[in-house]
Amino acid sequence: MKHKKFINIALLVTGMILFFALNANAGYARYVCNVISTGPAGSDTWVVLTDTAVTPKFSNAGFKFPAARAKEMMAIALTAITSNLKVEAIVNLGSTGTVYAIFVYSE
């Protein structure tokens, strides 16, 4: 029983370390955006976003959806377009231009 408890604690600590290490990645940030367009292009699925901040970090910028979640993320982007809503997106502004997460955003 002690051995199992120790393994669980070790896994929890390892998970927390990985979580904070990945969140420290300077490339990802959260933005409220307008969705300009979305869809497949070649073998990837893309979304074009514009930051709605007073001083926007990007305008009409293309971001790739991860292949494993592309359909779900594209559905969220399409929902935002058809409902005239914004999205809250966690994106990497680096050379990869990747969306980590996307949510429909209502003020």
Which amino acid makes up residue 12? L
Distance CA 82, CA 70 (A): 18
Distance CA 86, CA 79 (A): 10
Could you tell me the pTM of the whole model?
0.74
pLDDT tens sequence across 84-98 = 999 999 999 887 799
Q: Which two tokens stand for residue 23?
A: 């969140």
pLDDT tens sequence across 20-56 = 545 545 578 999 999 999 999 999 999 999 999 999 9
Across the chain, how many H-helices and E-strands are there? 2, 5
**Residue 36's closest CA among 24, 12, 25, 52?**
52
Percent of the chain topping pLDDT 70: 76
Q: Is 44 helix (H, G, I), strand (E, B) or coil?
A: strand
Block residue for tokens 């910028």:
61
CATH topology of domain 27-105: OB fold (Dihydrolipoamide Acetyltransferase, E2P) (2.40.50)
